Structure 1
């Protein structure tokens, strides 16, 4: 799939019986991507309101409604009033109704036959209904096709509803932006704005690009990105993301990322890929359908022909009728519609709660998790640090200037806290900056070599420091200038409000919790005890986190890892399911993760697991219902007890029942 998508399109799978046909969905219209494939909704347009979608979908099926009217009039006259209609008139009306209702299905069947695909739902329905016409059961043949198409209509309505929450992401991306150029306000397309330019966002407008706030303050609604309606107050120089809505006065924002590189654009690219990744159950059903359909055809032929050698007074038309009944009942549409629809609904349910699941396969995997491993800073804690203490053996202003200048290179919350604390000193641009993973930073400031990081950084460069520093429990940044210890800064973090709730709920689910951190073991242990986490490990380098998770996997554990920093990307990739905190999280971590929590709340880990369990439960219910009813009615049909009327109601009824059951996912709370 091409995720470089200049037309702002989201590709979602159309879970019609021919489940390889995608639909392209834009902000204004969705249309066929492959005109060779069958899709009943090719004439309906996508509007801002879901009700309009449904009205257009229903109105586009006018041939179906005319055919249903013709059949209804005929049945009322024939069976209601006992009026016998001329046979040729009946054939003419029924044939017209049949073509109106089933022309797309018949056309699709012939297209597939021409491509060598003989065993599919379209061919099955076409053969069954033409067989009914052959033996003179015109009304039953038309009824089979009409109710099959009504089933398809319900499926399309279900898909429209399911993808509405995902399509809503498109509506949060503005079509234009006001950029300040040469002291004038100019309206341009968002993709034409460059990094470093300043944009103006008026009250009530959506932010079009990622940036930092130039104005002193601003209040933003972040619900579209996070699922939370609580206003978020941003201060000068704090980050503002595309998709947020300015709820207060006009503000100015300096753009920090191109339109295509914004967090919102990456989220949409992830959505593009999400619905293409199928769950194991979904893939299994697709594989079984390829085996199941030819077997059904074979059994239908056997029902028609075998009695010739067994049954006395063999009546070909009687056994042909039974074979047609068998074919109609055996149609696997209930499975091929409802199962993908169930997973699609699960992705929609998660997205409405601020959780982006990158594929239905991950909804399956989260149901098998027995261990949740989390990072500490930015995951269970707010990652909003404040400087508590500055100790130095040189001039304090000089110490802060050099330290903050080097830390200005980093986006780590600790670095931002130091830069914020030193906002009154004049910073210098650092040179030759090197980020030493798990240790800190090395660079040149005012032609002096500066080291800033944890104690392991000084140990790595063999810089001697006071022994009492080892006893400090708080997060500490130690600094060395030109190879000599120069001082330290202590910083504190705060636990997120819902961290304890998340851990408690995971324990109720029988899931073990483990916390890993590059922070000091004493700090890590204190947070773990506060949150009642089962195990904790501190003083870890990125490779240390990878080793612990690999050891757990070697023991057969099914693991979720939750993190937000660049150094968490390798372990997120290693875990069975990697979850990234999308608000504070780094780009690399978000790209690597399988699930993204957009509002950074740890409680959403529990919500993601619940979404998976709800989806899997309903999918398995649909499989059981569909297979149970179909097997029963197939036996009755082969035995001559069930007619085409029972067959069509069994087939369409099961499909509708499965679709309505899948609908339940949308109404669930997680």
Structure 2
């Protein structure tokens, strides 16, 4: 590996990788890139088929691509359409696997029927041969191609075992088809095993399709974030309004933002004012007022007003782009996904090959007159009975059933990694807004001094652009209040609104600051109540005329009914529960007290949420993060297990490994229990996948021959292999009966 000097700047970039199918592939990609000149470090994320590379900026990315292409993989380095290209490749590959499985099954069925029920029909051998050739060498060619790639680098994986067992079984059957007299002269029936070879290919192809199906349904998180930016923007150039592509925006341009539009880049308001929904960045539900000289950020959404702003940060410098970068790095920095089956296969495959060779050599030395015959039959039987069909199905079948069970219970689970990890969780971090609370402002109470003017309040708030106004309007309409006629409506920026009624009186709706400026005194009892409301995490709004207060309105973001009981259940499971929020200390303390959380942090920035996750991880905690906003996405990507609330932002749901369709927190402990049951199912499947091998391999090798003269027929070995697959599937289906 090259030692990088101070003159060389290190560049971090995430690239999609094509051609990875297992942990061995991921390890190869890491190893090859890490030893490529100019590369400091490479970390593969098999779940996203991507690699995070730290490399010298002077090193062309085409060098990285060439290094991987030389060993059969590929790197997508197109900077503009990288994610789209990866998605297209994934969909194409899924359709190819599906096509191969369907046609493999079509050709396999008649071969199995002939092999099982018409084994003495002489022409059946030639029919089976003709049907087996396309199954092995066209529809199943990837197994042979991949095993050859592994062999060139002195490595072996499950593809190696599949290729060896099916290839030898096929060649042995071809020999018996055309030269049956060789075995007849030794008094041995010349059996053919075409059905064993093709069934192996078809079963393994099914397992691969199940895995690809899970992967293909997972959309790209970065693509969701990119969707927050408009494709085009309106700018003022030389005094005229023009529409240009967002990629053409430069620092210093003046952009126009109309009601309902997304803000394209970071900048400062130069003209006009409006309320902007920044919940996708801050996670807080209440839009904030933006007026001259205030900052606006890419990806946030303008409300009813319009304004102009000066672009200050464009392209990769915007806050949204920084969030994208943080999510990419958090995903890429995770350890490569080490599937349990591939871990076992890395030992299992070479061991079986060695046992088969030892079996052959032992029989050649000790087998006396039928040494070659017995050596060949036993070594093939070892390979056939050890074929990892059940091993290939063990994880995906349990995952598919577990995922289906989760979906029935409003829990969407993306992959095996999250299921394997979730049952180990011992610390849960909950976002406040939209997770513990509803995330929607509602009127808690209206204290009237004179309820006659309710229709005037409704009329004023109906015209107000303030985000809390809609909560008041909804509340009054539920009380069957009808709107009055008003004139001279005016917005008092940062304080409230005012308007005239038909009686000529001027009315005001706004903050305590507005009331103080009008010179309206507050009674001591009311001031005490206001303090209590604010301590209870409520926002206070005043409705007044020019002389007195007519009503006091309290607005709150209500705590979900299930939050306290769900947190109590998590504690009962022995988990530590933490709450993080961007809200102020007073509000955070009130909410934490009401739901029973003793450990919480307030006024936390998005990056600080991820830092807190890291802090717990460094203490040895297995951390689950639960959130619903873009501001949670970095922390969700960093956590060991990430859970998104279904009503939250697309990016939160996309980054998270689990999504709760419901907003009920009671489903978090259910998700953890489902993980525990599914992992147990996977382990049981692996037991059934291997028990036949552990019993059958010594018998296949001829262990019983010196005792009772028994040699395992490769046909029986193939049946045992098939039965182990049936056992795995049946055991996976048992997960449907569990209660969460």
C-alpha distance 452-661 of structure 1, shift in aligned 2 (>3 A): farther
- Alignment partner, residue 505 of structure 1: 569
- Alignment partner, residue 599 of structure 1: 662
The Cα of 1:297 is off from its aligned counterpart by 3.1
1:267-309 superposed Cα distances (whole Å, 9 cap, x missing partner): xxxxxxxxxxx99776342355356435433432332234434
- Alignment partner, residue 42 of structure 1: 102
C-alpha distance 332-417 of structure 1, shift in aligned 2 (>3 A): same
Counterpart CA distance in 2 for 1:593 and 1:452 is 39
* Matching of residue 663 in structure 1 with residue 733 in structure 2: yes
SS at match of 1:639: coil
1:104 to 131, 135, 140: 135
The Cα of 1:32 is off from its aligned counterpart by 7.1
1:491 to 530, 534, 555: 555
Counterpart CA distance in 2 for 1:405 and 1:625 is 67
Counterpart CA distance in 2 for 1:315 and 1:391 is 103
1:407 to 456, 466, 471: 466
SS at match of 2:438: coil
**Larger Rg belongs to:** 2
The Cα of 1:74 is off from its aligned counterpart by 3.5
* Matching of residue 126 in structure 1 with residue 170 in structure 2: no
Counterpart CA distance in 1 for 2:537 and 2:21 is 51
Counterpart CA distance in 1 for 2:561 and 2:431 is 16
CA contact (8 A) 2:397 2:732 kept: yes
* Matching of residue 376 in structure 1 with residue 432 in structure 2: yes
SS at match of 2:124: helix
- Alignment partner, residue 193 of structure 2: 141
2:616 to 536, 542, 552: 552
Counterpart CA distance in 2 for 1:557 and 1:113 is 43
1:578 to 642, 654, 662: 642
The count of aligned residue pairs is 483
Counterpart CA distance in 1 for 2:512 and 2:623 is 29
Counterpart CA distance in 1 for 2:674 and 2:165 is 35
The Cα of 1:628 is off from its aligned counterpart by 3.0
- Alignment partner, residue 445 of structure 2: 388
C-alpha distance 377-131 of structure 1, shift in aligned 2 (>3 A): same
1:187-212 superposed Cα distances (whole Å, 9 cap, x missing partner): xxxxxxxx999xxxxxxxxxxxxxxx
Counterpart CA distance in 2 for 1:99 and 1:38 is 22
2:383 to 327, 338, 349: 327
Q: Which consecutive residues of structure 1, in runs of 5 or more, have no partner in the other structure? A: 1-12, 23-29, 44-59, 79-84, 168-194, 198-277, 409-413, 433-441, 459-465, 481-485
- Alignment partner, residue 263 of structure 2: none
SS at match of 2:603: coil
C-alpha distance 507-422 of structure 1, shift in aligned 2 (>3 A): same
- Alignment partner, residue 643 of structure 1: 713
Counterpart CA distance in 2 for 1:570 and 1:74 is 61
Counterpart CA distance in 2 for 1:516 and 1:310 is 71
The Cα of 1:602 is off from its aligned counterpart by 0.9
1:130-156 superposed Cα distances (whole Å, 9 cap, x missing partner): 325536554452452465467569869
Counterpart CA distance in 2 for 1:114 and 1:565 is 44
The Cα of 1:34 is off from its aligned counterpart by 6.7
Counterpart CA distance in 2 for 1:606 and 1:454 is 43
CA contact (8 A) 1:498 1:603 kept: yes
TM-score, normalisation: structure 1: 0.58
Counterpart CA distance in 2 for 1:431 and 1:99 is 85
The Cα of 1:640 is off from its aligned counterpart by 5.1
CA contact (8 A) 2:165 2:380 kept: no
RMSD: 5.3
**1:20-419 → structure 2 map (5 Å cutoff):** 33=93, 40-42=100-102, 61=105, 63-75=107-119, 90=122, 92-100=123-131, 103-108=134-139, 113=144, 116-117=148-149, 119-132=160-173, 134=175, 136=183, 138-145=190-197, 148=200, 151=203, 283-286=339-342, 288-289=344-345, 292-309=348-365, 312-313=368-369, 315-384=371-440, 385-389=442-446, 405-408=464-467, 416-418=470-472
Q: Which consecutive residues of structure 2, in runs of 5 or more, have no partner in the other structure? A: 1-19, 27-45, 49-89, 152-159, 177-182, 184-188, 219-257, 261-333, 478-482, 499-507, 517-523, 543-548, 705-711
CA contact (8 A) 1:521 1:537 kept: no
1:617 to 658, 661, 680: 680
TM-score, normalisation: structure 2: 0.53
Counterpart CA distance in 1 for 2:681 and 2:101 is 25
